[in-house]
A and B are shown apart, each in its own frame.
Chain A
Amino acid sequence: MAQLILGQLLNGAIVGTLYGIIALGVSLTFGITGIVNFALGVFMMLGAYAAWYLTDTLHAPYPLAVAGAVALVAAAGWIADQLLFRFTRNDLVNGLLVSIGLIAALEGTALLAWTSTPKEMHHILPGVFFALGLVVPKMKLTVFAILLVAIALTQLALTRTWMGRAAYAYAQNAEAAQLMGVHTGRLQTGVMVYSTALAGFGGALYASLYSLEPTLGSLYVLKAVEAAILAGIGSIAGALVGGIILGVTEGVGSIYLPLAFRDAYGLIFLVAVLLFKPSGLFGGRR
């Protein structure tokens, strides 16, 4: 039994970081542009398909494929921002609805391009690690490490770089930040692009672990939003922790309770948290 729980704790943490990186994108987008970008799920999907295509069809080495995927998705994110999201700043409802439209359009395009037949990338790093009687696939652990690094780097960027601190300042007090010379428009576009890049990055890594289909993003973005809210919008480390909590709750919950309700456990936890601390576990600024 202990083995089972330990295994699910670890797996939950790993799965949670994938939720976490999207949650990070969700959190950043909400903090700076005032909308919840559900379309991050399709950007994740595009990143996954791009990585798969680059690796399996064009035979690029995987790291290069990931970089390529991120670049492509970031570009797509920039286009989406210029054409669509630029007009829905701070408009939660419209932003939500534009996201829905974008999701339908991009999923349809993916379906057209690749059909609903699942695609699977060739296994990049086959094999497993043994530790403490637990079995962890090597690639999964690698992805875990990479995601943690990415999130840590984001945290660093936000606190050390000028752009990052400008973002923080803006999130705190938009007017003051503007008066201090922060170019709002560029900042918002930058955050948009960065969060779609994060989603694409998550997707590219996802592709090395699971099979692909055009609707893969919808589950993840929902979990990501849950995680972001759980943690509290605006907290970077919080997005990661929120994701991990969600992943672990689902995994451990499924051991004791019926598996069929797996999605509910995270939701119940979320509702409970929101009722007692609406700003989330780590939130407090907004």
Chain B
Amino acid sequence: MRTLAWAVVAALFALLPLAVHSDVVLTVLVFACLQGMLAASFNLIFGFTGQLSMFHAAAFGIAAYATHLSMEHLQVSFWIGTLLAACLVAVLSLIVGSICFRFRLREFYFAVVTLAFSEMARLLILNWNSVTNGSLGINLQEKPTVWWPGAGVVKLDGTVPWYYVALAGLALTLLVCHRLVHSWMGRCFAAIRLNDALGDALGINVFRYKLAAFMVGSVIAAVTGSLYAYYLGSIEPGFLSVDQSLAIVAMVLLGGRRSVAAPVFGAFLLTALPHVIHFPAEVRSIVYGAILIATILLLPRGIYGTVSAVLRRG
């Protein structure tokens, strides 16, 4: 029953560009899907293993730069570049994760240490002018290419092709997260989230599973970063900022932490809302803060989470 519902949703989204011709709406959706990938992968670490990672934005940004640099210096295609970037982030998250988890840093310290690494990465990128062009950022002239049956090698240009890429990325992300969470690995995650010591007592190698969740989540963020940068057409050190990390946290919060899809709802909401409701700038901050607070205090399971709980009960 559930699968059928999801299949219908997927079909609707896939057919959307046929009905909706507004470039604005499709652009918002592209960004929403990419942010959704970030939110869902973040939740793998945050919602399912209970670790507040501030490294997500760093993974996102580092991968963007890495993809560009490998395309430029190693003359590889976008997809190989993204693969290389993902590998780089996998290694980095392995190192950072090992340091944090091996030393049994508690939840909060984990957040601080990941933040520290994130900030250091950002400062490095900001100041390594010869490689990253520092604060001026990089304008990406190249476009990724795909092989399409019938048309040969085509450039990914324009909102509609990117819409499908982003949608596919989101679908893939949700699939991976879903399989992981519902596997035996996922059950271990749940145990760890509830109580580290309990997990240990049950014979679960807590360290290994925390690290696994952290790495998978970060790698997905990396792939997202690559896609995002090439869609936007530019990269800047701001990709790694604390603000970016906090925006991801807010999305997950708003959507919900307990299911795989809930964060995506939050991502869609937060991406589209500023463009639907127009507030003067300062008022927007106030409204945003108020929504965040209201959600946490009144809807601790997030909007999606609360709605689905209500539906399940009724």
Interface pair B282/A109, CB less than 8 Å apart: yes
Interface string of A205-247 (1 = CB under 8 A from B): 0000000000000000010011001000000000000000000
Interface pair B297/A264, CB less than 8 Å apart: no
Interface pair A88/B296, CB less than 8 Å apart: yes
Which of B52, B123, B293 is packed against the most chain A CB atoms within 10 Å?
A: B293
Q: In the assembly, what is the distance between CA of A121 and CA of B127, in Å?
A: 33
Least CB separation from A267: chain B residue? B116
Given contacts A260-B123, A275-B99, A104 and B286 within 8 Å (CB-CB): yes
Q: Please report whether the interface of chain B is mostly helix, strand, loop or mixed according to DSSP.
A: helix
Q: In this assembly, does B17 line the interface, its C-beta being within 8 Å of a C-beta of chain A?
A: no
Interface pair B103/A103, CB less than 8 Å apart: no
Q: In this assembly, does A67 line the interface, its C-beta being within 8 Å of a C-beta of chain B?
A: no
Interface pair B119/A263, CB less than 8 Å apart: yes
Interface pair B108/A92, CB less than 8 Å apart: yes
Contacts of B300 in A (CB 8 A): 94
Tell me which residues from 85 to 117 in chain A have a Cβ below 8 Å from any Cβ of chain B. Answer: 87-88, 92-94, 96-98, 100-109, 111-112
Nearest CB in chain B: distance from A33 CB, A: 14
Cβ-neighbour of A104 out of B99, B105, B289 (below 8 A): B289
Contacts of B120 in A (CB 8 A): 264, 267-268
Interface pair A84/B297, CB less than 8 Å apart: yes
Nearest CB in chain A: distance from B76 CB, A: 31
Given contacts A100-B246, A261-B123, A108 and B282 within 8 Å (CB-CB): yes
Interface pair A278/B109, CB less than 8 Å apart: yes
Interface pair A97/B285, CB less than 8 Å apart: no
Q: In this assembly, does B290 line the interface, its C-beta being within 8 Å of a C-beta of chain A?
A: yes
Interface pair B52/A96, CB less than 8 Å apart: yes
Contacts of A107 in B (CB 8 A): 285
Q: In the assembly, what is the distance between CA of A97 and CA of B289, in Å?
A: 10
Contacts of A226 in B (CB 8 A): 112
Contacts of B127 in A (CB 8 A): 258, 260-261
Q: In the assembly, what is the distance between CA of A7 and CA of B243, in Å?
A: 34
Interface pair A97/B296, CB less than 8 Å apart: yes
Given contacts A87-B297, A260-B127, A264-B123, A104 and B288 within 8 Å (CB-CB): yes
Interface pair A102/B289, CB less than 8 Å apart: yes
Q: In this assembly, does B30 line the interface, its C-beta being within 8 Å of a C-beta of chain A?
A: no
Least CB separation from A30: chain B residue? B108
Nearest CB in chain B: distance from A278 CB, A: 6
Interface pair B286/A271, CB less than 8 Å apart: no
Q: In this assembly, does B222 line the interface, its C-beta being within 8 Å of a C-beta of chain A?
A: no
Q: In the assembly, what is the distance between CA of A267 and CA of B112, in Å?
A: 9
Contacts of A268 in B (CB 8 A): 116, 120
A-B pairs with CB below 8 Å: how many? 104
Least CB separation from B110: chain A residue? A274
Interface pair A101/B289, CB less than 8 Å apart: yes
Q: In the assembly, what is the distance between CA of A268 and CA of B300, in Å?
A: 35
Given contacts A88-B296, A225-B112, A268-B120, A275 and B285 within 8 Å (CB-CB): no
Q: In this assembly, does B106 line the interface, its C-beta being within 8 Å of a C-beta of chain A?
A: yes
Q: In this assembly, does A73 line the interface, its C-beta being within 8 Å of a C-beta of chain B?
A: no
Q: In this assembly, does B250 line the interface, its C-beta being within 8 Å of a C-beta of chain A?
A: yes
Contacts of A101 in B (CB 8 A): 288-293, 296
Interface string of A251-285 (1 = CB under 8 A from B): 00000001011011001101100110010000000
Q: In this assembly, does A74 line the interface, its C-beta being within 8 Å of a C-beta of chain B?
A: no
Q: In this assembly, does A36 line the interface, its C-beta being within 8 Å of a C-beta of chain B?
A: yes
Least CB separation from B290: chain A residue? A105
Interface pair B283/A84, CB less than 8 Å apart: no
Interface pair B293/A112, CB less than 8 Å apart: no
Interface pair B113/A105, CB less than 8 Å apart: no
Given contacts A87-B297, A97-B249, A100-B250, A108 and B113 within 8 Å (CB-CB): no
Contacts of A100 in B (CB 8 A): 246, 249-250, 289, 292
Interface pair A274/B297, CB less than 8 Å apart: no
Contacts of B211 in A (CB 8 A): none
Interface string of B125-156 (1 = CB under 8 A from A): 01100000000000000000000000000000
Interface pair A270/B112, CB less than 8 Å apart: yes
Q: In the assembly, what is the distance between CA of A207 and CA of B292, in Å?
A: 30
Given contacts A102-B293, A105-B289, A267 and B250 within 8 Å (CB-CB): no
Nearest CB in chain A: distance from B302 CB, A: 11
Interface pair A274/B123, CB less than 8 Å apart: no
Given contacts A108-B286, A278-B104, A94 and B123 within 8 Å (CB-CB): no
Cβ-neighbour of B283 out of A112, A263, A274 (below 8 A): A112
Q: In the assembly, what is the distance between CA of A36 and CA of B109, in Å?
A: 11
Q: In this assembly, does B253 line the interface, its C-beta being within 8 Å of a C-beta of chain A?
A: yes
Contacts of B52 in A (CB 8 A): 93, 96
Q: 8 closest pairs, A vs B, by CB?
A: A108-B285, A105-B289, A101-B292, A104-B289, A101-B293, A108-B286, A267-B116, A112-B282
Q: Which A residues contact B (CB, under 8 angstroms)?
A: 36, 84, 87-88, 92-94, 96-98, 100-109, 111-112, 222, 225-226, 229, 258, 260-261, 263-264, 267-268, 270-271, 274-275, 278
Q: What are 15 of the A-B contact pairs (CB < 8 Å)?
A: A84-B297, A88-B297, A100-B249, A101-B289, A101-B296, A102-B289, A105-B286, A112-B286, A222-B242, A263-B123, A267-B116, A267-B119, A271-B99, A274-B109, A274-B113
Q: Which B residues contact A (CB, under 8 angstroms)?
A: 52, 99, 103-109, 112-113, 115-117, 119-120, 123, 126-127, 242, 246, 249-250, 253, 281-286, 288-293, 296-297, 300
